[in-house]
Amino acid sequence: MADRRKMKRGKGEGGIRNVIVLDNVNIAYSDANGVPALMDINLKIQKGEFVFIVGDSGSGKSTLIKLLLRELTADSGRVIVNGYDLGKMHHRQVPKFRRGLGVVFQDFRLLKDRNVFENVAFAERIVMKREKDIRKDVPNMLSMVGLAGKYKAKPKQLSGGEQQRVAVARALINSPTILLADEPTGNLDYRNTNDIMKLLEQINQSGTTVVVVTHNRDIVNEMHKRVITLKQGVIVSDEKEGEYIDE
């Protein structure tokens, strides 16, 4: 069975409550002389949570996101996302796993030669949605992110904030259970940063688990969400909603 490595919902640590579980995870890059990028990471994120992962450059934030995306695999320990044990996952299962995630990057990563509609529709095309449904879903999603009138525009004709909205629309079009955002406001000004964070909060309120990696302390302070702080590959603090105080 293709899904035999997906743990049954409600059972085990990656069950229905915890959509992300990291259990004694270690990883080191081969070109870093064995210096670990992440050390003994233990982490649980529940369904519907909004979590910030913060830390300085080199703290392991991006490595963590890459592990969750199954772009990297841990050297030891277990990484369970959406019930999939990523360490045991076959390369062929990765696409199906990723369709349950929405991903937003700092540099937007839009297909430059396709317009807004096609960029968002692409995520639906890969799951072979019917053209009729795509024509209905994409405009709805673009309306939700405030880009209804720009569906014909190419990425280079949009501002940074607008491009990030397109990326968010693409990430959400297949109704993922988890949205991973890696520095989503890194290339945006203050106003666009606020708009994007409001959009992410709105998405979270509709039930999607949102994990945001950022080094922007201001937005973390303003939003009063759970904050996990990484330092040199180790979790140094994990503060629940409202507990985080910027040092």
Partner 1 sequence: MNSPFFYAFGQGIRNIFRNKWYSLASLATISTCLFVFGIFVAVVFNVNHIVSTVEEGVSVTVYFNEGIEQERIDQIQDLVKNRPEVSRCDFISADEAWAEFSQKLGENAEGFTENPLANSENLQIYLSDVSKQAELVSYLETVEGIRKINKSELTANTLTGVNKVIAYVSIGMIVLLLAVSVFLISNTVTIGISVRKEEISIMKYVGATDFFVRAPFVFEGMIIGLIGSVIPVLVIYYLYNFAFRFLYNNFSFLNDYISYVPAMTVFQFLLPVSLIIGVGIGFFGSFFTVRKHLHV
Element (H, E) at 183: none
Instruction: For residue 121, count CB atoms less than 10 angstroms from its CB and return exposed for 0-12, middle for 13-18, buried for 19 or more.
Output: buried
Q: One symbol per residue from 79 to 108: x for binding partner 1 (CB under 8 A), - otherwise; what is it?
A: ------------xx-xxxxxx-x-x-----
Shortest spacing between CB 65 and partner 1, in angstroms: 11
Cα 176 from chain centroid? 10
Which lies closer to partner 1 via its Cβ, residue 114 or residue 217?
114
Shortest spacing between CB 39 and partner 1, in angstroms: 25
Shortest spacing between CB 245 and partner 1, in angstroms: 34
Contact between 125 and partner 1 (CB under 8 A)? yes
Shortest spacing between CB 179 and partner 1, in angstroms: 13
Which lies closer to partner 1 via its Cβ, residue 66 or residue 215?
66
Rounded (10°) CA dihedral 124, 127, 133, 136 = -10
DSSP code of residue 129: -
Q: Which stretch binds partner 1 (CB under 8 A): 56-64, 128-136, 193-201, 224-232?
A: 128-136
Give the integer Cα–Cα distance in Å for 229 and 56. 9
* Contact indicator for 66, 56 with CB cutoff of 8 Å: no
Which lies closer to partner 1 via its Cβ, residue 98 or residue 226?
98
Long-range contacts of 61-64 (CB under 8 A, 24+ apart): 61/182, 61/213, 61/215, 61/230, 62/182, 62/213, 63/27, 63/37, 63/38, 63/233, 64/38, 64/213, 64/230
- How many chain residues interact with partner 1 (CB under 8 A)? 28
Q: Which of 130, 191, 245, 247 binds partner 1 (CB under 8 A)?
A: 130
Residues 163-222 touching partner 1, rule: CB under 8 A, are: 170, 174
Q: One symbol per residue from 32 to 71: x for binding partner 1 (CB under 8 A), - otherwise; what is it?
A: -------------------------------------x-x
What is the rounded radius of gyration, in angstroms, for the C-alpha atoms of the chain? 18
* Contact indicator for 69, 181 with CB cutoff of 8 Å: no
The residues of the shown chain that bind partner 1, judged by CB under 8 A, are 69, 71, 91-92, 94-99, 101, 103, 109-114, 122-123, 125-128, 130-131, 170, 174
